[in-house]
A and B are shown apart, each in its own frame.
Chain A
């Protein structure tokens, strides 16, 4: 009787398909895979980025400001033209910063002068004048005037200007100082921000032509 049962069991096993046998094998499990995507940050700065760019203000100076010859739509120089010492000016649509990044934490944009204001033609003595509390930035909105609240640019103290007067940018050992932050975005993607500039000329400023390079640096968060 026992031999008959065993024979029946073997016969039953023999008619089971092989796939059914395979399914009974406990070979499942879980695996966690961590992978990283290298973040990238790309940026462009466009001077005179919108039609209508140029200076206004000079209230009380007796002269009407006009954009200088160095400015062209979508490029060139942020050229205030002739301005009178002791007065305040606004330059509309001075610069637009465009950032593209896949960094989900966003990014920070810093901006500062590569140098102080470099005087020439005629060269004043001393040849430079403080950028701080002379040139200011503010986000571009329709109601801006020469007296709108703005933040002063400063000449870099932690970086090394590259090229003549910083024409090629600033070299930093790390990031620019936090005090020079002009834009902090918590999102990734392709984003833009426009800026107006203000010029507040002290009465002590020498008469001369002044130039400076404003350097924007974008750092992923």
Chain B
């Protein structure tokens, strides 16, 4: 009977402590948040270079001979890019046969241009009162990635500080477990993200970005009054099916405080 009571009390204590911690988590509120916008430019990989010899036949062979003849045409000792007297034959011609005579110096052909009145742009930049708690230091706003996996060292840094204990969390902007608008490279739940992060100051682990919206994943935690600033290494994985182009990755970083 005594043993059973002890087991029961221990169980109640465990449940109570779990409830307390869960409540603490739930009590954390979003003190401020920032969107980190990365431009991912996917460039086609260079095609492999090879030499495939082939034999010219028939009309191709004639063309080849004409090519050779054109290459041999010169005017005043200067090789011409093409033969102005090649077929069809010109029966009559003026001594100045070229619109732009092949000369020794560079020749510019005038092109029609227009330059309308410039567009004036203006804004008034105001200070961010929350920057003392959370701000982003961008280093590489454009990530030029070929197909496959590319890692960008210290693409940006994040600074955090708060007077009480805090947690920095993140998720792909616009993503959620019930749909969302996530697209390449962060994608959306339940697809695996093509964008990953690592904070080498804190861990060697590389994490795929959370793509299921709030509450996201923990980036790091901090004790009361702790100021932290860390680099983020970003890895972009470009699948072979992804067309070349410019993409945007937007990550929301949240400073959760209690």
Interface residues of chain A, those whose CB is within 8 Å of chain B, are 38-45, 47, 59-63, 68, 70, 76-88, 94-95, 97, 99, 101, 103, 114, 133, 135, 147-152, 166-170, 174-175, 197, 199-221
B123 near A83 (CB under 8 angstroms)? yes
Distance in Å from the Cβ of A143 to the closest Cβ of chain B?
A: 10
A216 near B118 (CB under 8 angstroms)? yes
- Verify if B66 is at the interface (C-beta below 8 Å from A): no
Distance in Å from the Cβ of B249 to the closest Cβ of chain A?
A: 9
Among candidates A149, A166, A215, residue contacting B246 with C-beta atoms closer than 8 Å: A149
Distance in Å from the Cβ of A167 to the closest Cβ of chain B?
A: 7
Interface hits, B205-251 → A, CB 8 Å: 245-248, 250
- Verify if B111 is at the interface (C-beta below 8 Å from A): yes
The complex places the Cα of A151 from the Cα of B248 at a distance, in Å, of: 11
A114 near B118 (CB under 8 angstroms)? yes
Residues in chain B near residue A197, CB distance under 8 A = 121
Interface hits, B111-152 → A, CB 8 Å: 111-131, 135-138, 141-142
* A-B complex: 5 closest residue pairs judged by Cβ atoms: A80-B123, A213-B118, A203-B135, A220-B112, A43-B114
A174 near B115 (CB under 8 angstroms)? no
Asked whether A68 and B121 contact (CB < 8 A) given A215-B115, A220-B113, the answer is no
B120 near A213 (CB under 8 angstroms)? yes
Residues in chain B near residue A59, CB distance under 8 A = 35
Among candidates A41, A83, A150, A209, residue contacting B112 with C-beta atoms closer than 8 Å: A41
Residues in chain A near residue B173, CB distance under 8 A = 147
Using an 8 Å CB-CB cutoff, how does the interface string of B169-207 with A read, 1 for contact, 0 for none?
000011000000000000000000000000000000000
Interface residues of chain B, those whose CB is within 8 Å of chain A, are 32-35, 37, 39, 108, 111-131, 135-138, 141-142, 173-174, 245-248, 250, 252
9 contacts between A and B (CB under 8 A): A40-B112, A45-B118, A47-B119, A60-B35, A86-B128, A86-B136, A88-B35, A169-B118, A214-B118
B141 near A212 (CB under 8 angstroms)? no
The complex places the Cα of A133 from the Cα of B137 at a distance, in Å, of: 13
The complex places the Cα of A11 from the Cα of B113 at a distance, in Å, of: 72
Asked whether A217 and B32 contact (CB < 8 A) given A80-B123, A211-B120, the answer is no
The complex places the Cα of A210 from the Cα of B128 at a distance, in Å, of: 17
A204 near B137 (CB under 8 angstroms)? yes
Asked whether A87 and B35 contact (CB < 8 A) given A70-B122, A77-B121, A213-B119, the answer is yes
Residues in chain B near residue A202, CB distance under 8 A = 136-138
A149 near B248 (CB under 8 angstroms)? yes
The complex places the Cα of A206 from the Cα of B240 at a distance, in Å, of: 42
Q: Which residue of A has the minimal Cβ distance to B246?
A: A149
B246 near A209 (CB under 8 angstroms)? no
Residues in chain B near residue A78, CB distance under 8 A = 119-122
The complex places the Cα of A101 from the Cα of B112 at a distance, in Å, of: 9
Residues in chain B near residue A169, CB distance under 8 A = 115, 117-118
B122 near A216 (CB under 8 angstroms)? no
B131 near A166 (CB under 8 angstroms)? no
